């Protein structure tokens, strides 16, 4: 029994100067734990299981291998799938080194302060779960640091460049290293690496799920795999975790907002920094569907590949610019009647039209396609277009989504594109184009923009330098109607695919009034097929009319007949 009081009156925290009566068995156990970190973990390390509560840890084979790797090497880098227990093994090593080695300074760094605190919380739980006779008494005990009577201490830190400058460190543990801002990590690394590398015994452990190929973590890991540095390395993918099989994979992918991220999160595949949104093979296959438009209107600004059909479902995606011959205002019309074959049927694109001029143009095109749902980016000059479309033209079918949609009891119409909304929209677009390959692009210019729409080092997407993404973003907004929860708001999902995405949909009756008055195509604009005249139209019965006969002789067919 301890002869002195406990630290903070916590019976699981022996105070400095505590005295114990050790049995021969206790002494033997202490020696075994000091000599073998795996013995210590499997016999005395407790975790909190969500289903079963506090229980002694049962290490998997790969976890034992990882702990041994970290203990036996000065520099270790671990590439672990998500939910594979990498934080647990880090906790075991940190606590073991602090208890059974004197004067150890152990530093835990993570991509977020909250992550580092969560790891330290695990250490606190494990420390308190040890029998008091096994652990070194407590000198100080807080939410961000722990100091023991034997001179060892464990703390957490941010990745600022001065975080550990000038202080010694026996074990540096960097968790989710590939998700730390590259600039911050590089500065931090320049600060602490010289200190640690100057010692012959200090250790560095980097562990992370992968992000992309642009950062320090990938550089070190790739060098370790190629045996180009002195780092020991290990990779753990999802299928090495007991209980995970193809059924688990399928269920996991179906529950992910981005099923395409499974390879990164669970198969440990790095995203290529600078990668195109479509690979070359997919680009070549999609290019085979590109054709010249059936109808060109307003010069070559408005391209039409199919005429509207009253029994089809259409959606419009809209991206708006200032009209100063730089970025363009663009409208993409998609036929979403069959989600196994989503077709681009029309595209308007102009970099010279002002937002004021664009609003009536947008309204007329929407009427051509039967007043479809319109997903219009509200940001910047888009706000005026969205509001005027509703106020001046009484257009009701405007989709609203994003943060702060309702302010002072007024609805902010349109798509409010902050970073999370844009990310969700791009992930959704990549599913329909890259994963299930159900989108048919008719416009080669749209396809070329997709090819130069690249992933940046920070994980965001944009057009490469000198290129534009107006056609791509309007396409992304059009496809966004198929994302959750919008698809369930505007449609009845009749059937879902294996990834729990909509496969068959039916329009809900929200008063959207599709094709109340489908018009001929863009009747007040010049058409390349009419030598500068508007498309002809006829009042009366086209079946018995001399003017109709003359038009038919000239090769015209009527979109509507029998008035």
- Tens of pLDDT along 422-448? 888 988 898 899 888 999 999 999 999
Give Cα 64 to chain centroid, integer Å.
31
DSSP string, 254-284: HHSS-GGGHHHHTT-PPBPTT-BSS-HHHHH
What is the distance between the alpha carbons of residues 204 and 498, in angstroms, rounded to a whole number?
42
* 219 Cα distance to chain centroid: 22
The pLDDT value given to residue 516: 35
Query: In b/e form, how buried is each residue of 499-538, taking b as 16+ CB within 10 angstroms?
Result: bbbbbebeeeeeeeebbeebbbbbeebbbeeeeeeebbeb
What pLDDT does 541 receive? 53
Q: In this predicted structure, which of 81-85, 254-258, 507-511, 525-529 has the lowest mean pLDDT?
A: 525-529
- Is 153:145 a contact under the CB 8 Å cutoff? yes
397 phi, psi to nearest 5 deg: -90, 50
Helix (H, G, I), strand (E, B) or coil at 242: coil
Phi/psi for 86 (5° steps) reads: -70, -35
Locate the domains of the chain by residue range. 32-265, 280-507, 532-563
For 283-302, what is the mean pLDDT?
91
* DSSP codes of every residue in 499-534: TS-EEEEEE--SS--TTSS--SSSTTS-BGGGTTSP
Q: Report the pLDDT value the prediction gives residue 523, as an integer from 0 to 100.
A: 44
Pick the more confident residue, 231 or 119: 231
Chain centre distance of CA 19: 53
Q: Which two tokens stand for residue 42?
A: 């499997």
Read off the pLDDT of residues 319-376 as tens digits, 9 standing for 90 and up: 998 877 778 899 999 999 999 999 999 999 999 999 999 999 999 999 989 999 999 9
Q: Which CATH entry fits the domain spanning 32-265: 3.40.50.300, 3.90.1150.200, 3.30.70.270, 3.30.420.40?
A: 3.40.50.300
Instruction: Decide if 176 contacts 111 (C-beta within 8 A).
Output: yes
Q: How far is 406 from 294, CA to CA, in rounded Å? A: 42
Q: What is the DSSP letter of 448?
A: H
Per-residue pLDDT of 496-526, as tens digits, reads: 887 788 999 988 764 444 443 333 444 444 4
* 414 three-class SS: coil
What does the alpha-carbon distance between residue 341 and residue 186 come to, in Å, rounded to a whole number?
Answer: 46
* 528 has a pLDDT exceeding 50: no
pLDDT at 563: 34
Q: Where residue 557 falls among pLDDT bands split at 50, 70, 90?
A: low
Residue 275's pLDDT is what?
64
Burial track 386-421 (b if 16+ CB lie within 10 A, e otherwise): bbbbbeeeebebbbbbbeeeeeeeeebbbbbbeeeb
CATH code at 280-507: 3.30.420.240
The length of the chain in residues reads 563
Tokens of 83: 């939910």
Tokens of 483: 């994302």
Element (H, E) at 247: helix 246-255
| Confidence at 450, pLDDT banded by 50, 70, 90 | very high
Q: And the tokens for 498?
A: 């294996």
- CA 160, CA 435: separation in Å to the nearest integer? 39
Q: Compare 477 and 300 and report the one with higher pLDDT.
A: 477
- Do 162 and 83 touch, CB atoms closer than 8 A? no
> 274 near 454, Cβ under 8 Å?
yes
Q: Is the pTM of this model over 0.95?
A: no
Residue 50 C-beta-side C-alpha neighbours within 13 Å: 0
Q: What is the mean pLDDT of residues 464-488?
A: 91
pLDDT value of residue 150: 93
Alpha-carbon torsion (282, 288, 294, 299), positive or negative: positive
Strand 373-376 to 314-319 pairing: parallel
What are the φ/ψ torsions at residue 262 (nearest 5 degrees)? -60, -40
CA 89 – CA 85 distance, rounded (Å)? 7
What is the mean predicted confidence (pLDDT) over 111-137?
Answer: 87
């Amino acid at each position: 029994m301890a002869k002195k009081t406990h630290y903070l009156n916590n019976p699981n925290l022996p105070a400095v100067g505590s005295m114990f009566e050790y049995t021969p068995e206790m002494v033997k156990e202490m020696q075994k734990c000091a000599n073998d970190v795996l013995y210590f973990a499997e016999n005395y390390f407790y975790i909190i299981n969500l289903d079963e509560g506090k229980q002694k840890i049962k290490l998997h084979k790969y976890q034992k291998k990882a702990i041994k790797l970290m203990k036996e090497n000065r520099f270790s880098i671990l590439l672990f799938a998500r939910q594979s227990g990498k934080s647990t093994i880090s906790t075991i090593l940190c606590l073991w080194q602090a208890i059974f080695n004197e004067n150890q300074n152990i530093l835990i760094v993570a991509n977020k302060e909250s992550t580092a605190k969560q790891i330290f919380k695990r250490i606190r739980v494990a420390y308190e779960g040890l029998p008091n006779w096994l652990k070194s008494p407590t000198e100080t005990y807080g939410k961000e640091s722990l100091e023991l009577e034997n001179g060892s201490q464990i703390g957490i830190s941010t990745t600022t460049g001065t975080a550990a400058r000038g202080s010694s460190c026996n074990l540096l543990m960097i968790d989710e290293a590939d998700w730390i801002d590259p600039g911050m990590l590089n500065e931090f690394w320049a600060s602490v690496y010289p200190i640690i590398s100057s010692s012959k015994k200090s250790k560095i452990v980097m562990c992370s799920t992968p992000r992309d190929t642009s950062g320090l973590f990938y550089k070190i890991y790739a060098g370790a795999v190629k045996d180009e540095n002195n780092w020991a390395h290990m990779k753990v993918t999802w299928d090495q975790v007991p209980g995970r099989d193809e059924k688990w994979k399928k269920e996991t992918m179906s529950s992910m907002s981005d099923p395409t991220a499974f390879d990164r999160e669970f198969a440990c595949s790095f995203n290529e920094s600078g990668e195109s949104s479509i690979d070359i093979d997919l680009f070549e296959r999609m290019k085979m569907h590109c054709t010249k438009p059936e109808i060109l209107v307003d010069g070559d600004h408005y391209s039409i590949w199919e005429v509207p059909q009253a029994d089809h479902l259409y959606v419009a995606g809209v991206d708006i610019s200032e009209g100063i011959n730089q970025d363009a205002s663009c409208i993409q019309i998609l036929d979403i009647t069959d989600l196994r074959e989503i077709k681009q049927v029309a595209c308007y694109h102009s970099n010279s039209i002002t937002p004021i001029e664009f609003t009536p143009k947008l309204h007329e095109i929407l009427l051509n396609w039967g007043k479809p749902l319109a997903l219009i980016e509200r940001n910047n000059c888009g706000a005026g277009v969205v509001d005027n479309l509703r106020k001046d033209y009484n257009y009701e079918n405007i989709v609203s989504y994003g943060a702060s949609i309702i302010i002072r009891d007024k609805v902010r119409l349109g798509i409010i594109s902050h970073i999370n909304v844009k990310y969700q929209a791009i992930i959704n677009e990549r599913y329909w184009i890259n994963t299930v390959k159900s989108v048919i692009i008719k416009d080669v210019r749209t396809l070329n923009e997709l090819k130069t729409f690249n992933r940046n080092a920070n994980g965001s997407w944009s057009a490469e330098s000198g290129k534009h993404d107006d056609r791509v973003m309007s396409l992304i907004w059009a496809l966004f109607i198929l994302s959750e929860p919008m698809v369930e708001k505007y449609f009845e999902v009749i059937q879902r695919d294996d990834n729990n995405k909509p496969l068959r949909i039916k329009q809900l009756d929200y008063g959207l009034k599709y094709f109340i008055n489908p018009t001929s195509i863009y009747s007040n604009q010049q058409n390349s097929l009419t030598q500068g005249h508007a498309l002809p139209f006829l009042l009366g019965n086209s079946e018995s009319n001399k003017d109709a006969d003359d038009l038919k002789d000239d090769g015209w067919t009527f979109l509507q007949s029998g008035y």
